[in-house]
């Protein structure tokens, strides 16, 4: 069973320059939430903070008892090096690591589960292929198969549908909806507003500060989008350093 993930006065950034300012709110359990907003608005920073790669500058995150192994994170494709000589099946098998460890032995059952995960994303026939030979869409399908094996309760994805074809987007959105239906919480940075409106029941609109958060139809209105755009026009990346107070709440 999943639990809500709650942000308490959360600020996060780099070198004491916050990219996310004092955000509070809750991702409901077993929900599917899109994070949208202007470029540079802190979307990816917030996701990395949830994943544990960027520490909070103020406030904290209440994961409701989830452990790090309950959380899966998929960065943007350009952040992943796939020049390593490894096959599609070997890549997907890495999804077993949270349970087997880096030096654990893989069994026939592990391999069968990996093949089932590949079948889920339409890539079973590509199991022996080297990952370097895959198209962008095929590679994303493989990464979703690996995520499936992690069995995470909280799944974080950073622009997973950028630069992939429409059929792959359709198929992988269906996978996300299956995961949510199984009780997992999905948080996804998105740039395609049409996909957000059609497939994500919840949306966070972030422009460094929180503009709106809740039911997608109520968040994605013209007034809120205009506020986010106006906020971005006033950003000053040369502003002074932020005083860090990790105990703030």
Q: Is residue 91 part of a domain?
A: no
Q: 108-125 pLDDT, tens per residue?
A: 999 999 999 999 999 999
Query: The pTM is what?
Result: 0.92
pLDDT for residue 105: 76
Question: What CATH number corresponds to the domain at position 195?
Answer: 3.40.50.300
CA 116 to chain centre: 23
Alpha-carbon distance values, 150 to 68, 71, 104, 106, 110 (Å):
12, 9, 15, 14, 12
Do the beta carbons of residue 130 and residue 86 sit within 8 Å?
yes
Q: Which domain holds residue 52?
A: 1-66+153-161+174-249
What is the CB-side half-sphere exposure of residue 170 using CA atoms within 13 A? 3
Q: Is residue 6 part of a domain?
A: yes
Q: 159-197 pLDDT, tens per residue?
A: 999 999 999 999 999 999 999 999 999 999 999 999 999
DSSP 159: S
Q: Is residue 16 part of a domain?
A: yes
Q: 4-32 pLDDT, tens per residue?
A: 999 999 999 998 889 999 999 999 999 99
Q: Is residue 89 part of a domain?
A: no
Do the beta carbons of residue 11 and residue 22 sit within 8 Å?
yes
Q: Is residue 37 part of a domain?
A: yes
Q: Is residue 135 part of a domain?
A: no
Tally the domains of the chain. 1
Q: Is residue 35 part of a domain?
A: yes
Distance, in Å, from the CA atom of 124 to the CA atom of 145, rounded to the nearest integer, reads 10
Q: Is residue 33 part of a domain?
A: yes
DSSP 119: H
């Amino acid at each position: 069973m999943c639990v809500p993930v709650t942000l308490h006065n959360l600020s996060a950034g780099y070198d004491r320059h916050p990219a996310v300012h004092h955000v509070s709110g809750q991702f409901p359990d077993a929900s599917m939430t899109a994070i949208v907003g202007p470029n540079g608005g802190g979307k990816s920073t917030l996701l990395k903070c949830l994943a544990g790669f960027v520490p909070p500058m103020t406030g904290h995150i209440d994961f409701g008892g989830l452990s790090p192994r309950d959380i899966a994170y998929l960065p943007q494709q350009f952040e992943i090096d796939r020049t390593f000589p490894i096959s599609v099946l070997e890549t997907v098998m890495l999804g077993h690591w949270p349970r087997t460890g880096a030096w654990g032995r893989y069994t026939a059952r592990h391999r069968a589960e990996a093949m089932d995960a590949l079948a889920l994303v339409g890539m079973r026939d590509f199991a022996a292929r080297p990952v370097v030979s895959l198209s962008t869409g095929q590679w994303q399908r493989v990464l979703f198969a690996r995520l499936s094996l992690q069995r995470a309760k909280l799944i974080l994805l950073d622009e997973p549908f950028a630069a992939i074809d429409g059929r792959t987007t359709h198929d992988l959105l269906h996978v996300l909806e299956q995961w949510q239906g199984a009780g997992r919480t999905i948080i996804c940075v998105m740039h395609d507003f049409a996909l957000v409106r059609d497939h994500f029941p919840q949306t966070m609109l972030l422009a460094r500060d929180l503009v709106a958060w809740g039911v997608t139809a109520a968040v994605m209105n013209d007034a809120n989008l205009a506020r986010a755009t106006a906020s971005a026009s006033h950003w000053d990346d040369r502003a002074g350093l932020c005083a860090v107070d990790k105990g703030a709440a």
